[in-house]
Amino acid sequence: MSYRIPFNRPCLAGNEYKYIAQAIANGHASGDGPFTRKCHELLEAELGVPRVLLTTSCTDALEMTALLLDCGPGDEIIVPSFTFVSTANAFALRGARLVFADIRPDTLNLDETRLEPLITPRTKAIVVVHYAGVSCEMDSILEIASRHGVRVVEDNAHSLFSRYKGKYTGTFGCLATQSFHETKNFTCGEGGALVINDPDLIERALILREKGTNRARFFRGEVDKYTWVDLGSSYLPSDLLAAFLYAQLEAREEIQTKRHRVWNSYHAALGDWAEDNDVRLPVIPSDCEQACHMFYMLLPSVEQRDSLISQLKAHSILSVFHYTPLHLSEAGQKFAARPSDCPVTEDVSDRLLRLPFYTDLTEDEQAHVTAAITNSRIRVLKQHAS
């Protein structure tokens, strides 16, 4: 079914076709070509980090993370239950056990006040997700982790170029992962990156990303042939995808300005309606500069959430919900270290609704969405009840 207003529409920044044509003309369509280098340099300079490596997805960057940290049987990894499956699956693949953490009711980020009791002598890493492009409470999380000698990884799929206390998310943990999937702020269809903040992890990351070979050393002239030296896989995207991505990253300010407009318009148009109807809009703590990845609302009940999705569908608007709590999923239970208690995750998962959100969402399209919401029957229900 096609919608007048889809949930997502991939948006071009302008130079994508030109750069892809250049990448083809360059005669280097495989990984680590000129456009991959440009993306690496741009991200390293902007984020101020020692190394960034493009990958084929955020999922693959997470899998590289699990390999780099030597996660395996006997290790526990703390992850929020309220996240995409890849955040957890990457570590389960290596044989580590998952400990699911609950989220804060305001930002829907990992609840740092309930983190410490989850740490055991087996805990190897805490993986945080900066949900919806709003940073976790990194000061507390880093302090708890360092007291216990545990590494912190940031799944920054939603949050590239958002800041916590003035510093970019993705620059706090030893490693961070990015997504350039078509639903993200910056895209090349499918893509990702590993941000390496701990310089000691760089050399091995290059090996893992090149099928476990020391090819990078060979290209630097440090060995006379390259051989298999470690585990690894093929995590390099084609330079054609890097060309697409580079056009998007170059236009980062323009893309983010447009997304801020979309987010602010939703917030302004829905504020009164939300208050009248006990609907909670996103909370942005004062020390966070958000990335405007999505606009979500928390409806008072699962019935009202599902009813609003159906009513919007009748106006040819696609709204969606997520995430199904991982600690209740079949695989989550199979790979958990022990049962977890995540009441906020369960409650939020029932009540959350995401509105159409993409860089080129027009004011007219947005007005159609907000009118459909403010005229919806959840308001009428409330008026009758009061």
Ligand X SMILES: Cc1ncc(COP(=O)(O)O)c(C=O)c1O
84 lines the binding site for ligand X (CB under 6 A): yes
Q: Token pair for residue 58?
A: 């955020």
CB of 58 to ligand X, least distance (A): 3
336: β partners: 98
290 lines the binding site for ligand X (CB under 6 A): no
Question: Mask 143-172, x = binds ligand X (CB under 6 A)?
Answer: ------------x-xx--------------
Q: Which of 83, 89, 135, 290 binds ligand X (CB under 6 A)?
A: 83
58 lines the binding site for ligand X (CB under 6 A): yes
CB of 159 to ligand X, least distance (A): 9
Candidate segments 81-89, 210-218, 296-304, 351-359, binder of ligand X by CB under 6 A: 81-89
Instruction: Compute CA distances 276 → 271, 282, 309, whole Å.
Output: 9, 16, 19
87 lines the binding site for ligand X (CB under 6 A): yes
63 lines the binding site for ligand X (CB under 6 A): no
Q: Which of 125, 129, 247, 288 binds ligand X (CB under 6 A)?
A: 129
Instruction: Compute CA distances 22 → 10, 54, 123, 284, whole Å.
Output: 21, 19, 47, 41
Nearest residue (CB) to ligand X, 90 versus 216: 90
Token pair 């302004």 is found at 268
Nearest residue (CB) to ligand X, 188 versus 206: 188
* 115-123: long-range pairs with CB below 8 Å, 24+: 115/78, 115/140, 115/141, 115/144, 116/144, 116/148, 118/78, 119/78, 119/144, 119/148, 119/150, 120/76, 122/74, 122/75, 122/76, 122/97, 122/337, 123/75, 123/76, 123/77, 123/78, 123/99, 123/148, 123/150
6: β partners: none
Closest CA to 133 of 105, 156, 166, 159: 159
Nearest residue (CB) to ligand X, 36 versus 83: 83
CB of 121 to ligand X, least distance (A): 28
CB of 130 to ligand X, least distance (A): 8
Query: Which stretch of DSSP H or E encloses residue 381?
Result: helix 377-385
Nearest residue (CB) to ligand X, 97 versus 158: 158
Nearest residue (CB) to ligand X, 20 versus 160: 160
- In whole angstroms, give the CA distance from residue 187 to residue 180: 4
359 lines the binding site for ligand X (CB under 6 A): no
Candidate segments 42-50, 56-64, 106-114, 338-346, binder of ligand X by CB under 6 A: 56-64
How close are the terminal C-alpha atoms of the chain, in Å? Answer: 37
Question: Mask 172-211, x = binds ligand X (CB under 6 A)?
Answer: -------x-x----------x-------------------
For CA atoms 158, 322, 113, 339, give the dihedral sign: negative
Nearest residue (CB) to ligand X, 57 versus 248: 57
CB of 190 to ligand X, least distance (A): 7
135 lines the binding site for ligand X (CB under 6 A): no
Nearest residue (CB) to ligand X, 240 versus 373: 240
Token pair 């690496």 is found at 40
φ, ψ dihedrals at 328, nearest 5°: -100, -10
- In whole angstroms, give the CA distance from residue 198 to residue 188: 27
- In whole angstroms, give the CA distance from residue 346 to residue 139: 26
Positions touching ligand X (CB under 6 A) are 57-59, 83-84, 86-87, 129, 155, 157-158, 179, 181, 192
